[in-house]
């Protein structure tokens, strides 16, 4: 049987995609909307402080297109921390305006090969990779993916050496784009429907197109990559949330 890749795991991750009930929002009296927004801003501010203090990771994003309106992205040490965040979200007065449309649960993952025998306790680099704060870049792209298991293109029937060689070539592409794109890879085998989640961060959205397109020509992707939907967002810090719901011209 081919040897499984040994991995080390960090914080759990939850990508929580929401859609705003705009009809209900516009039917809500202005004074109540103002109070709801103030509460939402306080909530996002509290999570941003956790992100800055490296107690957890958090980011909120305005999503583009029809798939969702907002993304709340969390990284936390325990599943219970994510469950608590969901419970607090559901109990908030403004929660009824933000219906869930999709979510993705996973855990930050790094192969032992990339760790090069180091332990997270002794490596600031590994700590940054395994317990990430969300980058303050302008744009985000998220997509789930799996490795193909079909006939001769069955990733899991390749030897460990074959997979390592393919992933080395794959990693070189990411390395070439590292100055423009930050990536966080999370594993979801046994946790969600796909096998990995890929979250990319950049200040230039075109950088996402370039890195993903170039990887299409990599053998590991061309032969074995299967991709889910792509979600693209613009970062909303707590100060921008209010103006996203109520643009300045409408206040």
List CB contacts of 50: < 8 A, sequence separation 6 or more: 56, 57, 58
pLDDT digit of tens for each residue in the chain (251 aa)?
Answer: 778 878 899 999 999 999 999 999 999 999 999 999 999 999 999 999 999 999 999 999 999 999 999 999 999 999 999 999 999 999 999 999 999 999 999 999 988 766 666 777 778 888 999 999 999 999 999 999 999 998 889 999 999 889 888 888 778 888 888 899 999 999 999 999 999 999 999 999 999 999 999 999 999 999 999 999 999 999 999 889 888 988 765 54
Three-state SS for 111? strand
Domain 9-250 class in CATH: alpha beta
List CB contacts of 96: < 8 A, sequence separation 6 or more: 21, 24
pLDDT, position 20: 96
pLDDT, position 114: 67
Query: Which residues are catalytic, by number?
Result: 143
Cβ-count burial of 23 within 10 angstroms (0-12 exposed, 13-18 middle, 19+ buried)? Answer: exposed
Q: Give the pair of three-digit tokens for residue 159.
A: 């030897």
pLDDT, position 251: 46
pTM of the predicted protein model: 0.93
pLDDT, position 243: 85
pLDDT, position 248: 64
List CB contacts of 163: < 8 A, sequence separation 6 or more: 2, 5, 155
d(CA 18, CA 233): 12
């Amino acid at each position: 049987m081919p040897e499984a890749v040994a991995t080390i795991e960090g914080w759990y991750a939850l990508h929580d995609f929401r859609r705003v009930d705009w009809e209900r929002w516009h039917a809500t009296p202005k004074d109540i909307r103002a109070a709801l927004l103030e509460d939402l801003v306080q909530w996002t501010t509290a999570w941003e402080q956790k992100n800055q203090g490296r107690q957890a990771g958090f980011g909120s994003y305005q999503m583009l297109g029809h798939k969702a309106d907002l993304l709340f992205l969390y990284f936390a040490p325990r599943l219970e921390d994510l469950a608590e965040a969901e419970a607090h979200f559901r109990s908030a007065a403004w929660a009824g305006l933000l219906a869930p449309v999709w979510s993705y649960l996973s855990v930050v993952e790094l192969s032992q090969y990339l760790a090069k025998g180091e332990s997270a306790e002794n490596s600031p680099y590994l700590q940054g990779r395994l317990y990430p704060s969300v980058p303050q870049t302008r744009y985000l792209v998220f997509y789930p993916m799996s490795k193909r298991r079909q006939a001769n293109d069955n990733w899991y029937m390749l030897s460990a050496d074959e997979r390592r060689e393919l992933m080395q070539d794959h990693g070189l592409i990411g390395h070439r784009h590292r100055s423009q794109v930050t990536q966080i890879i999370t594993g979801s085998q046994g946790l969600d429907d796909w096998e990995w989640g890929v979250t990319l961060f950049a200040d230039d959205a075109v950088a996402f197109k370039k890195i993903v397109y170039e990887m299409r020509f990599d053998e590991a992707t061309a032969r074995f990559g299967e991709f889910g939907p792509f979600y693209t967002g613009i970062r909303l810090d707590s100060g921008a949330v209010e103006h996203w719901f109520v643009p300045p011209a409408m206040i």
